[in-house]
A and B are shown apart, each in its own frame.
Chain A
Amino acid sequence: MKKKSIVILCLSVVFAVVLNLIAFVDLSSAGVNYGGFEKNIRKGIDLAGGSVITYKASIDNPTSEQMNAVEAIFQTRLNSAGLTEARISKDEGGRVTVEIPATGHDENAEGSDMRDTHTAASVLGNVAKLTFRNAAGETVMDGSAVKKATYQYGKVSNTGIREEHYITIEFTSEGATQFADITKAAAGSFISIYMDEDLLSSPRVDSSYASSGITGGSCVISGGFETKEEAQLLANQINSGNLPFKLDKESEQTVGAELGDDALPRALLAAAIGVLLIIIFMIAMYRVPGLIASLSLLIYVGLIGLAMGILHTNLSLSGIAGIVLSIGMAVDADCIIFERMKEELALGKTIKASVDAGFNKAFSAILDSNVTTIISCVVLYFSGIGTVVGFATTLGIGVILSMFTAIVITKFLLKQLVNIGIKNRSVFYRAAKKGGAE
């Protein structure tokens, strides 16, 4: 019994150490494929740099199908703009939040600075409704006739003089017939192509088409594009279809990547020193049980690190604050239990009886106090306010895990300690000095 308990305690120490190594250190060289904390969490914009933009639907009470369509279209548009890391979340009330992490730190590198995310973002909310209008301004055909738009570079026609960026539009079979009809009607005049209310191109339809219109099922938009990106973006917008309504930009936040660079390492350092100080404090206050609490605190830290990594939690500054706070709160349950044990010991009970009574009597206090914290986490989670949700998630996971480590792991380890059969009561508590206060 005694030997077995000593072995179990030693194994627990090894377990705690290995758990923390796996959770926080990249061990890929040692054959562990997990890669550690920093590789697995998703850094929020305030840690990684980038932009957070919130759009709001211009109509009241959009349906969830409409919002799903919006999300899909946003995703396509962001992907085609090369912003594959972007994350989209939507909430009630027709709000869509897009987080675009900064892709690089090199300020001079093309295509990796914030202005790219800025242009992409500025057109995200556009309806992107393509219309073909006749010279009188009447809409004669819309984007539904389009099968595919492709970006191209070169001379638009054989007679063209210069090379330029342009888009070729292929029509569906019905679209091709429609296009032939409208060009027939517009022969000798213009067909204007509009994106929302922006005129893209206004090609002349030669009067020779008066008999049959333009057949062949395609047309070209050219003349207005200064850069490849501009033409490419438009082609993508046409391909991704049109939004059911316009979305207005409501708020935008941009953080330089270099600003966030420091935040995570410094918070992790604070957490590491914090854990160390708490261990010293707990041992000073509670002696050997304090040591046990420290061991289960270490297991807790490893578990929460692993949980965050495995769930690929989106970690922002406030999320880190939530974790660090939960570390401080994790030993709270231990404090309640150990204070209770001390009281029982002071009443003259045996060590074993005191440990049991300590846990039993402390349980209701631990449960009630943690449940209230969980309640506020749940309410926060449903608030849908970006930074607050992150905080609620990490604190909530932390509180639940810490209840587990305090009630299950600390209890288990203390029982092993009792089994070793220590007779010396001062190992467990500092007896009140004779003649001391009360």
Chain B
Amino acid sequence: MKVVESRWKFVAVPAIILVLGIVMYIVHGFNFDVEFMGGTRMEINLKQEFDNDEVAQLIQDATGANTKVQHGKDKDGNDVAIVKMQATEDDNAAKGSAIAALNDKYKQTDENGNVTEITEHGNVVSASTASASFGKEMQKSALLYTLIAILCILVYIAIRFEFKSAVMAVIALAINVLIMAAVYSITYIPINTTFIAAMLTVVGYSINNTIVIFDRIRENMKGRRKNTSVTEIVNESVKETMGRTINSTITTLITIVLIYFLGVSAIKEFALPLIVGIIAGAYTSIFIASSFWAIWKESELKARAAAAAERRATKKK
């Protein structure tokens, strides 16, 4: 196991995912949900075929709100239109006129002349609205609380281990968080409050792996002999903890993958980024955090040794 020596090779994998994420971000940006942007999101079962652009245009003309429409499925597999309207002066009124416009176009008349109308009660499966200021505040507090959590973890590790470990753990974390953001951009999963929950879970969980490895390094460093290099210690520690890291990642993944396959769509959207985040968490803590820590520590020890040698040299004179 030469983890430390091949550290730059290991950086390549997350780098590729990140580049892909950035490309997709340029292509279509993030899919911010209304909780973050303000506006209205509705899932409407029109009970017939429809064209996304046509529905969007219809609503846009009726409400003046910039509208995007996607196809989606409800839990019974029916086609639903997922309508996202930008925030307006009065979102309730906009919602009403949007449904009225859809009714004009999509109400159905059977051969007996009975009209089935499109109504909020009958066709809207779920709806959420948020004002634009509320969305902005959510964005702010989401970012704020993630940063606070990371800061607290950093302080804790700095106390329990050393400052260098804390910095490397947080860098590994930052990579995980970026990879998850890339997943959201690549898959176009809507970003809402569960996004924060997913992010923070990964922050909390992947730090576990990093700590277990650092814990072993801490222990092995205590019994270090003069001629053993830091690199050797880190390689050995990573090897020793590898079994545990892989096994506990597998047990955690078992439940989340099951949730992904068995859960309803809202849970699926939450589980997928978690799966990626947990794999990324194991990867970065095994291959990145400790190996770069080793290089940093080694250079510090060398500098110290050099300084000591210099002191001895000046004394002799």
Q: Taking beta carbons and an 8 Å cutoff, which residues of A are in contact with B? A: 46, 54, 56, 107, 113-115, 122, 248-256, 258-259, 262-263, 266-267, 269-271, 273-274, 277-278, 281-282, 285, 317-318, 320-322, 324-325, 327-329, 331-332, 335-336, 339, 342-343, 361, 364-365, 368-373, 375-377, 379-380, 382-388, 391-392, 395
Contacts and interface: CB of A to CB of B under 8 A. Distances in A.
Contacts of A388: 145, 193, 196-197, 200
B164 interface: no
B194 interface: yes
A364 B254 CA distance: 26
B69 to A, nearest CB: 19
A372 B203 CA distance: 9
Contacts of B128: 251-254
A335 B243 CA distance: 8
B254 A375 contact: no
The dominant DSSP class at the B interface is helix
Contact of B215 (A282, A318, A321, A364): A364
Given A254-B126, A372-B211, A377-B204, A317 B266 contact: yes
A331 B251 contact: yes
Interface residues of B, number: 70
Contacts of A114: 121
B282 to A, nearest CB: 11
Interface stretch (B5-13, B14-22, B146-154): B146-154
B15 to A, nearest CB: 26
B263 interface: yes
A322 B274 CA distance: 11
The dominant DSSP class at the A interface is helix
Given A365-B215, A385-B196, A278 B254 contact: yes
A325 B156 contact: no
Contact of A325 (B157, B201, B266): B201
Given A262-B75, A263-B266, A375-B149, A252 B197 contact: no
A259 B75 contact: yes
Nearest to B153: A372
Contacts of B142: 383, 385
A364 B157 CA distance: 12
Contacts of A327: 255
Contact of B251 (A332, A343, A375): A332
Interface string B111-130: 00000000011101111111
B25 interface: no
Which of A122, A249, A270, A320: most chain B Cβ within 10 A? A270
Contact of A324 (B121, B219, B247, B259): B259
Nearest to A375: B152
B211 A339 contact: no
19 contacts: A254-B127, A262-B264, A263-B266, A270-B261, A274-B255, A321-B197, A328-B252, A328-B256, A332-B251, A335-B244, A365-B211, A369-B207, A371-B156, A372-B208, A375-B204, A383-B196, A385-B193, A388-B145, A388-B193
